[in-house]
């Protein structure tokens, strides 16, 4: 059997959806807030590894530092020393719109009729090409990047309305898509979440030794690392304005019937297992999803293993529900960057070998249930199955803790094109055959949503599984669309 290839060089060699960015905002009186923002960004590193940056406001002056790579590469010793001020925003980026290029690193700063504005964005604006054309017609603004974030920045910096909530609400009326925003003006810190709440955003309070200030972040794990106490998640359509006078919240009154559409992939894979959403720990939710998977696809076996690290919680849940012992059968080498994973077939096996090391003494002679959190292109799984067989596994029963991904994401996640999505083009049995597994079972959409919804009434986006997008999408959307118009 010939093994499928990774596709192009830029494809994720480990076949996961690519994360969509992380944002933080900090107001901490008397502090060097950019340094605190960097702590938050380290916690959000999993949401984007292409670039990182902070912007801080110091007595009306906004200064920015950003760089390519991981937070530790973007912020070298002394880089933040001059980024003074007790109010700041920060960003870790994975490019969902625009190329991976230093000019696209965030935060961006623009100047408009409403004054200076720094912006950090998590999400994706579907109609950004049209909005940019309208802005170019209407205003004398210059675009320096190929990102939708710069479109949002100019839109807001020149939006009608006397207050920031009014300007954000104008933006919410004209922008279609996903956005959790961290904004910084010379005298205010602003957080905003799109009316469907597609991307997460939460508010926390710093302790007295940090000036009793306020922080917000994409995930609660960032609050934890900044030693902030979780206050609450922002509501869909909420705008929070934090100034020296306090915190003001206003909520967009748009189409009341649209409801929340939080990305369910945050729960499956994106969010860190130690983050909380809807009052639930992601690790526990994933255990419950793994238990549901065990109920839906039971099989007799000796051991349950997860593909580390992102599938471990689900594998533990599968093991608990099935009564089959969980084992660590694969060790992941955390220090192999994707730069070193080579694209050619011969080198691809080597790449999987570099990333994962099976433990034959655990696996030899065993019938394995192998839990993975998702399969996107199906390019890595056959290599992992082969690795486990070579380590002595006698049977491999693959269990995927997500439904088959049949539709691309247009809302801030770089998944793949429809042509690249294996489940959009093959049946489950064809995929099983390609992976080399003995059996294959996916979590059902109903099972996933039963676990995710729990006691909450809140809705989820599940469009990559069902094709039911919560907003009208352009099926020919390309992340490089703005680069082409630029
Ligand atoms: S399409 Fe999938 S990945 Fe994209 S927002 Fe919806 S659930 Fe998340």
**pLDDT at res. 9:** 25
**pLDDT at res. 142:** 83
| Separation of CA 398 and ligand 1 centre (Å) | 23
CA dist., res. 30 & res. 10, Å (int) = 43
- Average confidence (pLDDT) per 10 residues, the chain, 486 residues: 30 57 95 96 93 95 94 93 96 71 86 95 92 90 86 96 96 95 97 96 93 95 97 97 95 81 95 96 98 98 95 97 97 66 50 86 98 92 94 98 96 84 97 97 97 77 95 65 45
**pLDDT at res. 339:** 40
- Indicate which atom in ligand 1 lies nearest the CA of residue 178: 5
- Indicate which atom in ligand 1 lies nearest the CA of residue 263: 8
Give CA 31 to chain center in angstroms: 29
Computed over every residue of the chain, the mean pLDDT equals: 89
**pLDDT at res. 380:** 86
CA dist., res. 486 & res. 480, Å (int) = 10
How many residues make up the chain in this entry? Answer: 486
Of the residues 21, 221, 401, 464, only one is catalytic, namely 21
Measure the CA angle with vertex 121, ends 71 and 63; round to 5°.
60
User: What angle do helix axes 148-157 and 128-138 make, rounded to 10 degrees?
Assistant: 40
| Separation of CA 157 and ligand 1 centre (Å) | 29
Nearest CA to ligand 1 atom 8: 263
Residue to mutate, 218, 415, 464, 465, ligand 1, most ligand atoms under 8 Å from C-beta: 464
Question: Has 202 been annotated as catalytic?
Answer: no
**pLDDT at res. 254:** 80
SS (H, E, C) the chain: CCCCCCCCCCCCCCCCCECCCEEEEEECCCCCHHHHHHHHHHHCHHHCCCEEEEEEEECCEEEEEEEECCHHHHCCCCCCCCCCCCEEEEEEECCCCCCCCHHHCCCEEEEECCEEEEEEEEEEECCHHHHHHHHHHHCCCCCCCCCHHHHHHHHHHCCCCCCHHHHHHHHHHHCCEEEEEEEEECCEEEEEECCCCCCCCEEEECCHHHCCCEEEECCHHHHHHCCCEEEEECCCCEEEEEECCEEEEEECCCCHHHCCCEEHHHHHHHCCCCCEECCEEHHHHHHHHHHHHHHHCCCCCCEEEECCCCCHHHHHHHHHHHCCCECCCEEECCCCCHHHCCCCHHHHHHHHHHHEEECHHHHCCCEEEEEECCCCCCCCHHHHHHHHHHCCCCEEEEEECCCCCCCCCCCCCECCCCCCCHHHHCCHHHHHHHHCCCEEEECCHHHHHHHHHCCCCCCEECHHHHCCCCCCCCCCCCCCHHHHHC
**pLDDT at res. 341:** 37
| Separation of CA 412 and ligand 1 centre (Å) | 8
**pLDDT at res. 140:** 77
| Separation of CA 475 and ligand 1 centre (Å) | 14
| Separation of CA 472 and ligand 1 centre (Å) | 13
Nearest CA to ligand 1 atom 2: 464
- Indicate which atom in ligand 1 lies nearest the CA of residue 405: 2
- Pocket lining for ligand 1, CB < 6 angstroms: 198, 263-265, 409, 411, 413, 461-464
- Indicate which atom in ligand 1 lies nearest the CA of residue 410: 4
Query: Among positive and negative, which fits the CA dihedral 173, 231, 106, 54?
Result: positive
**pLDDT at res. 484:** 38
Order the strands of the 229-233 sheet from edge to edge. 61-68, 51-58, 87-93, 22-27, 214-217, 202-205, 229-233
- Indicate which atom in ligand 1 lies nearest the CA of residue 462: 7
| Separation of CA 461 and ligand 1 centre (Å) | 6
**pLDDT at res. 18:** 62
171: nearest Cα among 183, 150, 156: 156
**pLDDT at res. 180:** 97
**pLDDT at res. 110:** 94
**pLDDT at res. 153:** 96
Nearest CA to ligand 1 atom 4: 409
Residue to mutate, 179, 413, 424, ligand 1, most ligand atoms under 8 Å from C-beta: 413
**pLDDT at res. 436:** 97
Residue to mutate, 197, 458, 462, ligand 1, most ligand atoms under 8 Å from C-beta: 462
**pLDDT at res. 343:** 42
**pLDDT at res. 438:** 98
């Amino acid at each position: 059997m010939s093994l499928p290839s990774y596709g192009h060089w830029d494809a994720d060699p480990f076949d996961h959806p690519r994360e969509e960015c992380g944002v933080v905002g900090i107001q901490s009186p008397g502090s060097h807030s950019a340094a605190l923002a960097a702590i938050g960004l380290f916690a959000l590193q999993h949401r984007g590894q292409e670039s990182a940056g902070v912007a801080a406001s110091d007595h009306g002056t906004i200064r920015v530092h950003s760089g390519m790579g991981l937070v530790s590469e973007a912020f070298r010793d002394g880089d933040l020393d001059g980024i003074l001020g007790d109010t700041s925003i920060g960003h870790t980026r994975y490019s969902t719109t625009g190329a991976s290029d230093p000019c696209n690193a965030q935060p961006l700063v623009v100047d408009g009729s409403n004054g200076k504005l720094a912006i950090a964005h998590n999400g994706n604006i579907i109609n950004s090409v049209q909005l940019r054309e309208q802005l170019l017609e209407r205003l004398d603004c210059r675009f320096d990047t190929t990102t939708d974030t710069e479109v949002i920045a100019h839109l807001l910096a020149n939006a009608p309305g006397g207050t920031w909530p009014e300007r954000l609400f104008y933006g919410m009326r004209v922008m279609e898509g996903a956005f959790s925003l961290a904004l910084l003006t010379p005298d205010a810190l602003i957080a905003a979440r799109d009316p469907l709440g597609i991307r997460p955003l939460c508010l926390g309070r710093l302790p007295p030794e940090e000036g009793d200030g306020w922080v917000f972040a994409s995930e609660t794990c960032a609050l934890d690392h900044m030693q902030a106490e979780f206050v609450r998640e922002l509501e869909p359509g909420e705008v929070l304005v934090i100034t020296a006078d306090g915190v003001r919240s206003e909520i967009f009154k748009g189409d009341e019937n649209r409801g929340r559409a939080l990305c369910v992939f945050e729960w499956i894979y994106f969010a860190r297992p130690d983050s909380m959403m809807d009052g639930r720990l992601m690790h526990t939710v994933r255990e419950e999803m793994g238990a549901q998977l065990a109920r839906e696809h039971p099989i007799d076996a000796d051991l349950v293993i997860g593909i580390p690290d992102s599938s471990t919680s689900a594998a533990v849940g599968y093991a608990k529900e099935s009564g089959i012992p969980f084992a660590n059968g694969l060790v992941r080498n955390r220090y192999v960057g994707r730069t070193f994973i080579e694209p050619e077939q011969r080198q691809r096996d080597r790449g999987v070998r570099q990333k994962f090391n099976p433990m034959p003494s655990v696996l030899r002679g065993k019938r394995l249930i192998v839990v993975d959190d998702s399969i996107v292109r199906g390019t890595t799984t056959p290599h992992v199955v082969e690795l486990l067989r070579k380590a002595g596994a006698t049977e491999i029963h693959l269990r995927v803790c997500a439904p088959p991904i049949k539709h691309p994401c247009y809302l801030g996640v770089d998944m793949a094109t429809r042509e690249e999505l294996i489940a959009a083009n093959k049946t489950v049995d064809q995929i099983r055959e390609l992976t080399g597994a003995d059996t294959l079972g996916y979590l059902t959409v109903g099972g996933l949503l039963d676990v995710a919804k729990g006691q909450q009434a809140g809705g989820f986006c599940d469009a990559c599984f069902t094709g039911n997008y919560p907003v009208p999408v352009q099926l020919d959307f390309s992340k490089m669309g703005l680069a082409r118009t630029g």
